[in-house]
A and B are shown apart, each in its own frame.
Chain A
Amino acid sequence: MRLGTRFSAYLQVAPLTLVFVGFLVFPLLAIVVVSFWDYTAYTMVPTFVLTNYRDVLLSSVTYTAYVNTFKYAGFTWFFTLTIGFTVAYFLAFHVRTFIWQLILFLICTVPFLTSNIIRMISWVPFLRRHGIFNSTLQAMGLISEPLEFLLFSDFAMVLAFVHLYTLFMVIPIFNSMMRIDRSLLAAAADCGASDGQVLRDVIIPLSKPGMAIGSIFVVTLVMGDFITVRLMSGGQSASVGLMMMNQIALLQYPAAAANAVILLIVTLLIVMAMVRIVDIRKEL
């Protein structure tokens, strides 16, 4: 019987394992292998060279791209965390009935299930030179000339990132908050803690796992992004993902692969630093 149970567990888990091995492990291995290959204008040459890594690591373009990408990730992380925490806090502690929590939660979730590209495009009418923001500000007399930096700028990009990814913060933080024993809050209040102290000394420490999970989502999504950067910056900003896409467009796959390996290492280092804060599996 015990042997049978274990055997059935392997059978049940086999298809999932096959998908991950076939479409995650092998492809990543393929990237590592190809990153040591050489290339000509149209083809890849299977060999072993370090030139791709040398080109990547010695190029100032790489460092500019990483500095830019870290900057976007940092700003996006800050805004999504602040907004996400506030929204989750409101839902978890100020909305009193479960049915309303569910309804408001669904309202936040629905846009996340629609097309990211369309959600980016939807900022165009607002941010254009004669768009809704500028005309509103002009009508209010706050500015005389339209603001030029709205569309196709770093501002537009971070705005789009925050718009796309805040929900990745709201869900895990809300989840953490819902697991906080409400009697802890009552106890803190009975001992004379103010609302601010309860927030700082009870709720925030107990919500940290949720914040860490949300941060991992948001930072890794921004680190690997190229489409938002391309659409919202109008091609004027360089990010790591965009740099890789340009090499792919030029069929320089080994160069792109070397970049990919470095991006993977950087991303994993960031995630490992964040995981130290939290045991993800306990949070489910």
Chain B
Amino acid sequence: MMDKGRRPGSFYVLGAFFAVFVLFLYGPLSAIILLSFQGPSGGLTLPMNGVSIYWFTALFAQQRVGDFWGAFQRSLFLATLVTLLTVALSLLAGLAFRKRFRGATALFYLAVASLIVPSILISLGIGLMFNILGWETAWYSSALGAHLTWTLPFGLLIMFAVFNRFNPAYEEAARDLGASGWQTIMGVVVPIIAPSLIGIALFGFTLSYDEFGRTLLTAGVYNSLPLEIYGMTTNITSPALYALGTLTTGFSFGVIAIFLAVSLTLRKRGHLPFERGATAAGSPA
């Protein structure tokens, strides 16, 4: 695989296509990051008018934006809750799916349905259900459930991919040495699949932190950050909007970097080789 001699001409054509694709992905984002560092007279497009952090300070002046900090804290807390629940519930369900149980197929289709039902329907349905039951919607109840319908299917599908490639010899060895069921799971299975669990956690956190459609009718009185940002897009027509984009994107990049670093450390510590299956295991479908 490593060296098959000279690369064919198509490599360079496709390589150029890939480069343009990466530019397409990152170009617009880089533009708003650049533009958010303009001077006070800056506008919404290039060229830059001076360089400053004026628009970042403007962002934190209370009268300009709504409850930016409150929304950020709520979203952070909500995403953390969603992450923990997604990892725990996906792991448990993944273990269950390795055995045969009644309703496994139905549950699998329910998970797939959860992925493909448009988010606006989940939002509307949960809103109506709470309304009928006479409950108040809130970010920590209705929105939490709404987010889980989006993150759990990803978690479950990743667990399927992981256990399809899992070598049961490790568990059998542990059992032969006298480990209980619980010891086998916590001492053998979990450490081996830890990098994939980190992958599920990353998906859970970022999908929840950025979710808009499912939060819209379920968040209740207090906005999550994406709702707050959406509100700002209609009110703010200055580079402060770009400053906001820079901050939240920077935060997302930071989160991704932390998760990747943890995952790499776990791989190294466990002396697990990079397997070919690892990429597929980290993919949502």
A residues whose Cβ falls under 8 Å from a Cβ of B: 5-6, 8-10, 12-13, 15-17, 19-20, 22-28, 30-31, 33-34, 44, 83, 86-87, 89-91, 94, 96-99, 101-102, 104-108, 110-111, 113-119, 121-126, 128, 130-132, 135, 163, 166, 168, 171-172, 174-175, 178-179, 182, 195, 213-214, 216-217, 220-221, 223-227, 231, 241, 244-245, 248, 253, 256-257, 260, 263-264, 267-268, 271, 280-281, 283-284
Given the known interface contacts A260-B121, A280-B112, the answer about A34 and B245 at a Cβ–Cβ threshold of 8 Å is no
B101 partner, pick from A13, A118, A231, beta carbons under 8 A: A13
Q: State which of B52-60, B64-72, B91-99, B189-197 sits at the interface with chain A.
A: B91-99
List the B residue with the shortest CB-CB distance to A222. B118
Instruction: Please give, as numbers and ranges, the residues of chain B lying within 8 Å of A99 by CB-CB distance.
Output: 274
Contact A171 B285 (CB under 8 A): yes
Contact B28 A24 (CB under 8 A): no
Q: Is the C-beta of B80 less than 8 angstroms from some C-beta in chain A?
A: no
Residue total for B at the interface (Cβ-Cβ under 8 A): 100
CA of A105 to CA of B29, assembled, Å? 18
- Of the A-B pairs whose beta carbons lie under 8 Å apart in the complex, a sample of 27, sorted by A's number, is A6-B101, A16-B111, A16-B156, A24-B113, A26-B125, A27-B126, A30-B128, A97-B2, A102-B279, A105-B279, A108-B25, A111-B26, A114-B206, A114-B210, A118-B244, A121-B242, A125-B242, A163-B28, A174-B283, A178-B276, A217-B285, A257-B124, A260-B121, A264-B118, A271-B116, A281-B108, A284-B161
CA of A17 to CA of B25, assembled, Å? 37
Contact A244 B124 (CB under 8 A): yes
Given the known interface contacts A117-B212, A130-B45, the answer about A30 and B132 at a Cβ–Cβ threshold of 8 Å is yes
Instruction: Please give, as numbers and ranges, the residues of chain B lying within 8 Å of A30 by CB-CB distance.
Output: 125, 128-129, 132
Distance between B125 CB and nearest chain A CB, rounded to angstroms: 3
A87 partner, pick from B21, B132, B149, beta carbons under 8 A: B21
